[in-house]
Structures are given as structure tokens and as C-alpha cells.
């Protein structure tokens, strides 16, 4: 069965374009804005060669940019690999190598650890959120805002319901952390079940 979770965002954007979807301080982003920004990111990712099934590592805290990247990655049919912002460089390196990441998105405040880990992987493009556009970045590192420069083509890559959408790494309490794969259908099921009323006896 063909299904991509990003289609839900598109449908919500069409139905309620101006309704707020997320907030950060005094900033509010509507469904339409998140749909467009993630669409711009998707177009840029395609131009960078990211394709269906490719892994894109996201090393961001809880912020709107995570949401933009999340849906942008899914719109390409790629897989989002979530990295905890508190991870140290060796832990980041292990996960990047283990999943075969094609690209890394990180946050300015925690970019030091991410860049040290990513430096061990040749040719891994890295994009930094919140870095000033005039800031000097290491070679191979780019400003996240560059991903907004492309136009939103409105394209959403068809994926199967059982295709992997997100990889979450386990804590590694009994060994090396393992990548737990979540499919598009599992994400959808989690959302719909959470939306149902909970009955307590």
C-alpha cells in the first residue's frame, strides 16, 4: 500500500492553511508555512542527490526547524535518523557510520560535537541551524537556511506504508546502540491512537 506521512501535512495545510501548527517564543508557524518550508527543503535535498531510502541525520533540539526538516526529509522518501542533541562526538560518529547517513543537520549550540563526529566521515554534507549567514563555517559545512533557497515543487515521493520513515537509536544499555526502524504506517498509527479518547476506570 502506498502511503507517506507527509501527505497528512499536505492535507492539513490544504484544509487549514492559516491555523497554527507550532510555536517558538513569539514566532508562530501555520500549517501552510510548515508545508512550504519543508517543501523547499525537500527540493534542495533532491538537488543534493538525496533519494528514497537514503538516511538524513538530524541533530536538533525541540524546535520548529526539526519539524521543517522532518517533513522535508519524508517528502523526498528519505529516512530521518534522529540524534539526541546531548550526544558526544564518538556517539554521533558511531550512529552516522552505522546508518550510512548521506547528510547531517545540526544546531549551532551543539554543532561542535556533531562536526567533530562528522569529520571522521569523508564527504558528509553538514548544515547548521541558526548559524549567521556571514559566519565562517568549516569546509563541507553549510548554513541550514540555504536549504530554503529552492522553490517548493509540491512533490511528495510515493512510499510504501511499510517503508522506514524514522530511525531512533536505542540507549545501548547491553551493548552498542541499535537503530530501531519506524515505518510510515507505524507513525500514522501512533498519531491516530493518541488522538483517540483514553478511558480510565
Rounded to the nearest integer, the mean pLDDT of the chain is 93
Domain 6-193 belongs to what topology?
Rossmann fold (3.40.50)
Q: Is the pLDDT of residue 9 over 80?
A: yes
For residues 148 and 72, what is the distance between their CA atoms, to the nearest angstrom?
A: 11
The x, y and z cell numbers of residue 3, run together, are 502511503
**DSSP symbol at 22:** E
Distance CA 119, CA 183 (A): 30
Whether the per-residue pLDDT at 126 is higher than 60: the answer is yes
pLDDT value at 131 more than 80 = no
- List the alpha helices (DSSP H) in the chain: 6-15, 31-47, 64-76, 89-99, 111-118, 184-195
Cα torsion 155, 195, 79, 130: sign: positive
Q: What pLDDT band is residue 17 in, cutting at 50, 70 and 90?
A: very high
Full-model pTM? 0.92
Residue 145, pLDDT score: 95
**Residue ranges covered by each domain of the chain:** 6-193
- Nearest CA to 99 out of 188, 175, 164, 4 is that of 164
Amino acid at each position: 500500500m502506498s502511503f507517506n506521512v507527509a501527505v497528512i501535512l499536505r492535507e492539513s495545510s490544504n484544509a487549514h492553511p492559516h491555523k497554527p501548527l507550532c510555536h517558538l517564543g513569539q514566532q508562530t508557524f501555520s500549517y501552510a508555512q510548515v508545508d512550504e518550508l519543508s517543501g523547499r527543503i525537500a527540493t534542495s535535498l533532491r538537488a543534493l542527490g538525496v533519494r528514497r531510502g537514503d538516511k538524513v541525520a538530524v541533530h536538533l533540539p525541540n524546535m520548529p526547524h526539526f519539524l521543517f526538516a522532518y517533513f522535508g526529509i519524508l517528502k523526498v522518501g528519505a529516512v530521518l535518523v534522529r540524534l539526541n542533541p546531548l550526544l558526544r562526538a564518538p556517539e554521533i560518529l558511531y550512529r552516522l557510520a552505522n546508518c550510512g547517513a548521506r547528510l547531517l543537520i545540526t544546531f549551532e549550540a551543539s554543532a561542535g560535537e556533531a562536526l567533530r563526529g562528522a569529520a571522521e566521515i569523508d564527504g558528509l554534507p553538514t548544515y547548521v541551524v541558526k548559524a549567521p549567514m556571514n559566519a565562517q563555517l568549516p569546509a563541507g559545512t553549510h548554513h541550514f537556511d540555504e536549504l530554503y533557497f529552492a522553490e517548493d515543487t509540491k512533490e511528495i515521493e510515493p512510499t510504501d506504508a511499510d517503508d522506514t520513515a524514522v530511525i531512533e537509536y536505542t540507549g545501548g544499555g547491553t551493548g552498542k546502540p541499535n537503530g530501531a526502524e519506524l515505518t510510515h504506517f507505524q507513525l500514522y498509527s501512533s498519531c491516530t491512537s493518541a488522538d483517540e479518547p483514553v478511558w480510565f476506570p
